[in-house]
Amino acid sequence: MKTTFKLTIEYCGTPYAGWQIQPDQPSVQEEIQKALARMLNRPVSLIASGRTDAGVHALAQVAHFEAETTITASKFQEALNSMLPKAITIHGCEKMEKRFHARFDAKRKRYTYRIINRALPPAVASDTFWHIRKPLDISAMQRASEHLIGTHDFKAFEGTGSPRATTVRSLYEACVHHHGNGLITLTFCGNGFLKFMVRNLVGTLVDVGLGRTLPGRFKEILHSHNRANAGATAPPQGLFLLCVAYDERPFTPRQFTDSPLYPAGLWTGPC
């Protein structure tokens, strides 16, 4: 009789080729699957709420696995944390109903993207920011981002090579916030995200912030459904998957996880 377990996972994307297993490259999935296989003496398949690209971080990624075992959820968490490298922390392990599926049951995801907007790049924690030298017009970026709220065909912001049944998604939050000292965050919450969608939204909003694209033109790009009209893909290291929700309730800041990268107010905009 198999049991389904849900893991809540923080990871630093820097040393990995992304979430998903790749031949000859380190991945978050492989690290955790290897540790689980050692505990269970057999291969284990770990399914995440979705992939993250190489260099992208997660504060609370969710994944599930099934196992016929007497090991308890808390023992799994403890043993995994003792075996995994320091770039991966298991913040929770829960026994779920058998039918729980980390990808198919996910109702909403929340991402934030960190930009440093000042003359010079940061030396400390440089793998957690996109450095942009020229001053960004935050209020223009905010006006443009308002067009994203609601249900739209986001095909203009989809990466190539990702056939999907539909490119329609709903965004509940799209918010640009200046925290002072050059730190800008772009935060998005929606019922699902296409491949490269957040990074393409950020790249295009940065074009608005630089004055290359008018906020009204941003709306036209969204409704053109044409990737060629949107901006470049923002680099991966600024992107954080914040959390994944499995209930129908609206997001609240309490769901932002308890990560130290969430000190009071740092990641939360006025939204």
How many CB atoms within 10 Å of residue 196? 20
- How many chain residues touch a second copy (CB under 8 A)? 38
Cα–Cα distance, 28 to 51 (Å, whole number): 10
Q: How far is the CB of 102 from a second copy (least distance, A)?
A: 18
Q: How far is the CB of 91 from a second copy (least distance, A)?
A: 6
Q: Provide the 3-class DSSP secondary structure of residue 59.
A: strand
- 149 or 183: CB nearest a second copy: 183
DSSP codes joined into one string, 146-192: GGGSEEEE-GGGPPSS---S--EEEEEEEEEEEEETTEEEEEEEES-
In terms of phi and psi (left: phi > 0; alpha: psi -120 to 50; beta: otherwise), the region of 249 is beta
Residue 126 near a second copy by CB under 8 A: yes
Q: How far is the CB of 34 from a second copy (least distance, A)?
A: 17
Residue 179 near a second copy by CB under 8 A: yes
- 59 or 221: CB nearest a second copy: 59
Site string for a second copy, 69-88 (x = CB under 8 A): ------------x----xxx
Q: Out of 41, 70, 181, 252, which residue is the one contacting a second copy (CB under 8 A)?
A: 181
Question: Shortest CA distance to 219 belongs to which of 206, 232, 208?
Answer: 208
Of residues 238 through 267, those in contact with a second copy by CB under 8 A are: 240, 258-266
Question: Shortest CA distance to 43 belongs to which of 32, 55, 51, 54?
Answer: 32
The window from 64-72, 177-185, 195-203, 225-233 that contacts a second copy (CB under 8 A) reads: 177-185
Q: How far is the CB of 114 from a second copy (least distance, A)?
A: 8
Residue 116 near a second copy by CB under 8 A: yes
Q: What's the token pair of residue 266? A: 């740092």
Residue 123 near a second copy by CB under 8 A: yes
* Runs of H (alpha helix) within the chain: 28-40, 73-83, 138-145, 197-209, 215-224
Q: Provide the 3-class DSSP secondary structure of residue 8.
A: strand
- 170 or 259: CB nearest a second copy: 259
Site string for a second copy, 41-70 (x = CB under 8 A): ----------------x-x-----------
Residue 120 near a second copy by CB under 8 A: yes
DSSP state of 237: G
Q: How far is the CB of 259 from a second copy (least distance, A)?
A: 7
In terms of phi and psi (left: phi > 0; alpha: psi -120 to 50; beta: otherwise), the region of 148 is alpha
Q: Out of 4, 20, 89, 170, which residue is the one contacting a second copy (CB under 8 A)?
A: 89
- 246 or 262: CB nearest a second copy: 262
- Catalytic positions are 53
Residue 6 near a second copy by CB under 8 A: no
Between helices 197-209 and 138-145, what is the axis angle to 10°?
130
Q: Which residues contact a second copy by CB under 8 A? A: 10-12, 57, 59, 81, 86-91, 116, 118, 120-126, 128-129, 179-183, 240, 258-266
